[in-house]
Structure 1
Amino acid sequence: MDFVRRTATDTELIASLPLDPEGRTWVRLDGPGGSEAWLIGWPPGTGTGWHDHADSVGAFLTASGELKEYSLAARLPTDGWKTLELTDGVDRERRLPSGQGRAFGRHHVHEVLNESPDAHAISVHAYYPPLPQIRRYSRSGPILRLEQVERPEDWQ
């Protein structure tokens, strides 16, 4: 978390990120101790969709603007399923205005959104070990469905 806090206060770096009015933009950073790190720009109304980071632990912090995180307070099985019915009370949400962030453990299922109608957000993310994969999910009410597994070559 120290790395993302420190990086988020680097105003020159934050200002250097090219912003696109329609799609997220990102730049890979040199993360500490073999971690994987990213600077991400979020246009108004964009988000990640539901996903997890497999066996990586992570942290992210909003450097400018505001993000919202929706997450599941439930330990899901890591393999061998395509569809799960979530129980009541597992949904969590948190606002992450500029200067606020969070750390998370392995298999943390969440989605991150910039819900602003008119302002970009910028955030700093770090993962260790470097992301082995990202599992993407769709959600309809209490039903969570595994849709896709991405590997590093899909996003680098």
Structure 2
Amino acid sequence: MTADDAATRTTAPTPLTLDRLSALTARIAEEVRQGIHEIRFDAENRWSVRLHADDYTDVWLISWTPDQSTRLHDHAGSLGALTVVTGTLVERYWDAGLRERALPESGGGRFPLGHVHDVVNASDRPAVSVHAYSPPLTAMHYYEVTGDDALRRTGSVLTTDPEPDVPTLASVPASGRAGR
């Protein structure tokens, strides 16, 4: 293990580091640019396909049409990284308050354990990104920012898909909400 690996290692049960996940998504993003992987777009829902899976990692290709986004979430016990293939995405992330950063084409992000974020295509053209998780994704936790600017977990799902069909809190009738 190099000093750089040690500096970016977390306690996740994986031999991979954030550096290695970032390098993997960058390499796969280049394959996508070369036309090795098919891309589809869906104006209703983000489209995704798993490109690779093994005991330690899964890699996903995700397309985003304008205004598509995730909900505020984390990746439970998995580290993550993404590289933007084409377009620009915006990441909103929690750091003692909701912050925002642009993820330009060929740029990306890293997600250590506990990283809470939302990703959105705020531009007027489609975007494509490659995501890697290690260990492979098994769950996601969802959050909201409360009126007093605190983070509150609203639910969790067991999933191996970074695009699970999760109802939003607004779609749950008030009579079915606990504590409301």
Q: Settle same-fold status: TM greater than 0.5.
A: yes
TM-score (norm 1): 0.80
Instruction: Quote the offset at 1:33 in angstroms.
Output: 6.2
Q: Which deviates further from its counterpart, 133-142 or 61-70?
A: 133-142
2:45 corresponds, among 23, 31, 43, to: 23
- Native 8 Å contact 1:24 1:43 kept in 2: yes
- Tell me how far apart the structure 2 counterparts of residues 70 and 113 of structure 1 sit (CA, whole Å): 8
1:130 aligns to what?
A: 136
- Deviations for 1:104-142, whole angstroms, at most 9, x for unmatched residues? 2101001100001x3111000001011121001123441
Q: What CA deviation, in whole Å up to 9, does each residue of 1:50-91 have, x standing for no partner?
A: 0001111110011001000011125xxxxxxxxxxxxxxx33
* Helix, strand or coil at the partner of 2:24: helix
Report the counterpart of residue 81 of structure 1 in structure 2: none
> What is the CA RMSD across the aligned residues, in angstroms?
2.0
Q: Detail structure 1 runs of 4+ shifted over 3 Å in the superposition.
A: 153-156
Q: Quote the residue 2:89 is aligned against.
A: 67
Greater fraction of residues in strand? 1
State the structure with more CA Rg.
2
Aligned length: 139
The Cα of 1:153 is off from its aligned counterpart by 5.8
Task: Give the TM-score normalised by the residue count of structure 2.
Answer: 0.70
Which one has more relative contact order, counting CA pairs under 8 Å at least 6 apart? Answer: 1
After TM superposition, the structure 1 = structure 2 runs for residues 47-58 of structure 1, keeping only pairs within 5 Å, are 47-58=69-80
Q: Which residues of structure 1 form unaligned runs of 5+?
A: 75-89
- Counterparts of residues 26-37 of structure 1 (less than 5 Å): 26-31=48-53, 34-37=56-59
Unmatched 5+ residue regions in structure 2?
Answer: 1-21, 166-180
For the structure 1 residues 42 and 4, does the alpha-carbon distance in structure 2 shift closer, same or farther, using more than 3 Å as the test?
same
Q: Which residue does the alignment assign to 1:150? A: 157
Residues 153 and 71 from structure 1, CA distance in 2 versus in 1: closer, same or farther, beyond 3 angstroms?
A: closer
Matches within 5 A, 1:47-126: 47-74=69-96, 90-116=97-123, 118-126=124-132
